[in-house]
Amino acid sequence: MRARLLILAGAVLALLLATLTGCSDSGSGGGGKVRLRFQSLAWQKESVAATKELVKEWNATHPEIQVQYVQGSWDTVHDQLLTAFEGGEAPDVIHDASDDLADFAYGGYLADLRPLLPAALKEDIPARSWETATFGKGVFGVPFLQEPRVLIANTKILASSGVRIPTPEQPWTWEEFRQVAKRLSGKGRYGIAWPLREPVSITLNLGLSTGGQLFHREADGKVRVAFGEGDAAVPTVVHDQVNVDGSAARTTLGMGGSDTLPGFFGGRYAMAALGFSYRQQIVQQAPKGFEWTVLPAPAGSGGLAQGVSPQTLSVAEDSPHKKEAAEFIGFLLQPRNMVRLAQGDWMLPTGAAALKDPALHTARYGWATGAALAGALRSAPAQSVRGYPEWKDKVATPALQEYYSGAIDLGQLRKRLVKDGNLVLARYQR
């Protein structure tokens, strides 16, 4: 039933695209020109401007391969792409995140990029980043932007507390972090804000630092969920900060990262656990004279290891111009262009050459701290797991939200993530 509905929705979408863009399919226009549609998910003003400028530069220098910029949205991209694929209306070049690619890759909707990409691009991006877009024996996306989870701290509160300031070379342990958050709390102030409206990726990705993995691939290739000591370490710290220590604000559990910024600026939270790109909003919105700094996330038995789901560029399997689409991706991700995209999104490039750019190693706005963490970023645990979106939405999100709020204990969390989770994954692995 769902498939039939999606096919019907795809037909409707096809009619809308044809009406709005006048280009319901990719192909050669007059004069033998190749016309590609590039759906971008850039949304910040600087990021959109940088991306559109690069498209303009490409079109100016490649008159026979013209690219049309199409604006997409992170909020709806998975369902929108699925509908477009089913309806035969997918863009040629697709901007997404690596943890959203598994079902599309295994479903045959994305092209294997290995024979299409320029050698220089393949060599520039490290193997650990390519792993994030590798499904089975194919590579179905080019990972190009990534961001670590960091702690943004109020400099004045941190300095007055007398706590040790962590660095990428000497980070806090998770236990030390818990104690610091307690010291920073009091007089109407919480030591840490955890914006956990979307708790799953944060929990899984930070869990790599304590040896967590959660998803385990068996010899037969099937994936099962197992919740061990390493998986429990980070959730336990967060739970105890909220429910035992009182050092984490309960109200932020239902917030997104942006929602915590007014309280952070107002001194209600001494620190906030945020993605690296939130620095842009802080620069734009912080009151005059507000001082802040970027600190690495705590380290565990796995050091500073942290899971990431990089932004990716893919080519639709149904595109009649895969070679030209890959050439355009190669242009977008030349080192100098990757730096421009990274600066526009306030994120880190995956490419080794781009990451060496001096602009990304300045102390200003914490760029140097982020760049120092790049080598510790790993493929997020859920990258290649079929059925992960459903597991996340139906099982993990409500279970983690209840655990962090104190409604269920660790044993109940484990049971739901494992038992209910494996039932969901099993349907995708028959």
Helix (H, G, I), strand (E, B) or coil at 54: helix
Task: Tell me, yes or no, whether 374 and 391 share the same domain.
Answer: no
Task: Tell me, yes or no, whether 320 and 346 share the same domain.
Answer: yes
Q: Is 301 contained in some domain?
A: no
Task: Tell me, yes or no, whether 219 and 265 share the same domain.
Answer: yes
Our count of domains for the chain comes to: 2
Task: Tell me, yes or no, whether 235 and 320 share the same domain.
Answer: no
Helix, strand, coil share of the chain (percent; to 5): 50, 20, 30
CATH code, 405? 3.40.190.10
Task: Tell me, yes or no, whether 8 and 75 share the same domain.
Answer: yes
pLDDT band for position 408 (cuts 50, 70, 90): very high
Task: Tell me, yes or no, whether 281 and 267 share the same domain.
Answer: yes
pLDDT in tens, 361-375: 999 999 999 999 999
Task: Tell me, yes or no, whether 171 and 247 share the same domain.
Answer: yes
CA distances from 315 to 93, 133, 285, 396 (A): 5, 12, 37, 30
Range of the domain at 88: 2-146+309-379
Measured between alpha carbons, how far is 341 from 332 in angstroms, rounded to an integer? 9
Task: Tell me, yes or no, whether 159 and 141 share the same domain.
Answer: no
**Is the pLDDT assigned to residue 5 strictly greater than 50?**
no
Task: Tell me, yes or no, whether 23 and 46 share the same domain.
Answer: yes
Mean pLDDT of 147-176: 97
pLDDT at 1: 42
Mean pLDDT of 241-248: 98
Mean pLDDT of 264-289: 97
Nearest-10 crossing angle of helices 229-240, 199-207? 120
Identify which of 150, 214, 194, 68 has the alpha carbon closest to the alpha carbon of residue 376.
150
**Is the pLDDT assigned to residue 184 strictly greater than 60?**
yes
